[in-house]
Amino acid sequence: MVRISIVFCALLCFGIAHAQKEIECQTKLSYFHEKVKVKKYDEAYDDWLYVKSNCPSLSLAIYSDGEKILEHKIKHTEGVEKKGFIADLIALWNDRKQYFESRTPKGEFAAKSCQLQYDHKEELGKNNNELFDCFDRAFKADRTTFTHPKSLYTYFFSMVELFDDEKKSAAELFNIYDDVNEKIEVEIQNYSEKLNALIAKLENRTTLTSKEIRTRKAYESYLKNYALIKDNIDAIVDKKAKCENLIPLYLRDFENHQNDSIWLKRSVSRMYHKQCTDDELYEKLVKQYDKVAPSADTKLYVATVLLKKGKDEEANQYLEEAFRLETRPYKKSKIAYRIGVILMNKNQYVKARNYLVDALKLNPSNGKPHSVIAHMYAESAKNKNCGKDNFYQRAVYWLAAEEVKKASRIDPTLQKLVNQYVASYIAKAPTKEEVFLKGLGGKTIQIKCWINRSVVVPKP
C-alpha cells in the first residue's frame, strides 16, 4: 500500500511539473514571439532557447521565429561564436523536419541548409565538391520545392566552379545547366499563370484588394529574379558551350542516347540556341527527336531545318502543326512566340504578328511579343507602301514606340530595354517642326501596307 502511494505521489508530482513546464513554455513562447515581431531578436533569444529545448513540438513558431533569431545572430557575430550559430540553424531546420514534417518541404529546407553553408564556406572550411554534392542531393531528393532563385543559381555555379577546376566534364556541366534551366522555366510558368489571373481581373476592371496588390508585386519580383538568374546562367554556358565543343560531344554520345528523348531534346535545343544548325548533325538530331518523341517542340525544330533549306511552304505546315499540337496555354504561348520570331526572321510579318498576338492572348504577363511586333513596325518604316511620303513613312516609329511601351507595362523586367527602344524610335520619328509644318499634331493618321494600323501624331 505504501509503495502504491509512493508511485501515485511520484506520478502526481511529475504531472504537476510537466504542467508547470508547459505553462512556462507557453508564456515564454508568447514573449519571444512578440519580440521577434518587432525585430528585438537578442531579447527574444533566451526565452526562445528555453522553449526549443524543453517543448520542441509546442508550436511551429519555435522554428519560423528561431530562423530569424539565428540569422540575426549569424549576421552580428564572428569566429567560433558565428560558426556555432550556423550549426544551430542547420540543426533547427533538421528539428523542424522531425516535429513538423508535413510543414517542412524537403527540397526547400535542404536547399536553405546548402545555401547557408555556401554563403559561409570560408568560416566552415567547406570545399566546392562538398557544397555541390549538398545542392545536388537536395535537388534530386525534392526538386518540386527546390525553388529559390538564389539556391538554383548557386547549385549551377558550384558545378561551374568544379568544371573550371577540371573536376567535372562538359557533359556534366551541361546536364546540370539543363536541370536548372528547366526548373527555372517551370517556376516562370507557375508565377506567370498566377500573375495572369490577377491581370485578367484588372482587364475586367475589377479592383485588386490590398492583399492581391502585394501578391502581384511578389509574383513580379519572383519573375524578375528568375529572369535574372536565367540570363546569368545562359551567359556562363554561352562561354563554355561552343559549336566546336558541342558537335564532337554529341557525335560521340549519339549512339548511346539516340532513343533518349530528354537527351535529344537538350542536344537539339542547345545546338539551336548556339546556332550550330549548319552542321549535318543538327538535322540528324532533329529528325531523331521527332521520331522518338513527336511533339510541338519537335515540329518546330523540323520547321527550322526546312526553312534553312528554303522549303518555306513545307516548313509553314510544320509550324502550324506545332501550334495545333500544344494545348496548354502557357506552353502554347511560348510556341506561338517562337513561331512569331521565326516568321519575322523570314520577313513574313503578317503571319508573324498573328502568332505574336496569339502569344499575348495565351500569356498576358509576357511583354516580349509586343517588343517583337514593335521591331517589325520599325523595320517597315522605310517601306514606301506604308506611307505616301517620308513623313507618313517615319510616322511608323511612333506606332513602334507605342507598341513597345506595352511590353514594360505588363512585364517590368523589360523596362530598361523598352526605354532604350522608345528613345531610338522617337529619335527617328518626324520632328516637332515637321509636325507643325504638316499641321497634323493631335490628329490620327493611317499606316498602310501590311501594318494597317492608325497612330495619333504627337502635338508639337
Query: Per residue in 88-110, pLDDT tens?
Result: 999 999 999 999 999 999 999 99
Q: In this model, does residue 410 exceed pLDDT 90?
A: no
pLDDT at residue 8 is higher than 50: no
Is the pLDDT at 309 greater than 50, yes or no?
yes
Average pLDDT over every residue of 129-148: 97
Average pLDDT for 204-227: 93
Q: What per-residue confidence (pLDDT) applies to 9? A: 44
* Alpha carbons 454 and 337: distance in angstroms, whole number: 24
CA distances from 459 to 73, 365, 405, 456 (A): 60, 31, 19, 9
* Half-sphere exposure (Cβ direction) of 380: Cα atoms closer than 13 Å: 27
Answer positive or negative: Cα dihedral of 259, 264, 266, 267. positive
3-state secondary structure of 454: strand
Which positions ≥6 away from 334 have C-beta within 8 Å?
Answer: 359, 363
Whether pLDDT at 282 is above 80: yes
Identify which of 175, 190, 95 has the alpha carbon closest to the alpha carbon of residue 145.
190
Bridge partners (DSSP) of residue 447 are 453
For position 204, what pLDDT does the model report? 87
Give the residue-averaged pLDDT of 264-284.
92
Task: Over range 49-78, report the average pLDDT.
Answer: 97
> How many Å apart are CA 107 and CA 179, to the nearest integer?
15
Which of these, 325, 263, 259, 269, lies nearest to 292 by C-alpha position?
259
Residue 20, pLDDT above cutoff 90: no
pLDDT digits (tens, 9 = 90+) for 179-188: 999 999 999 9
Q: How far apart are CA 61 and CA 315, in angstroms?
A: 59
CA atoms of 377 and 373, how far apart (whole Å): 6
Q: Say if CB 304 and CB 272 are below 8 A apart.
A: yes
Distance CA 219, CA 93 (A): 26
Give residue 1's pLDDT.
Answer: 52
pLDDT digits (tens, 9 = 90+) for 41-61: 999 999 999 999 999 999 999
pLDDT averaged over every residue in the chain: 92
Cα 423 from Cα 156, distance rounded (Å): 36
Separation CA 172–CA 132 (nearest Å): 12
Q: Which single residue is written with the C-alpha cell 518523341? A: 293
Q: How confident is the model at residue 427 (pLDDT cuts 50, 70, 90)?
A: very high
Res 14 pLDDT > 50? no
Looking at per-residue confidence, does 387 or 97 come out higher?
A: 97
- pLDDT for 10 beyond 50: no
Cα separation, 436 vs 11, whole angstroms: 98
Residue type, 424: S
d(CA 377, CA 396): 6
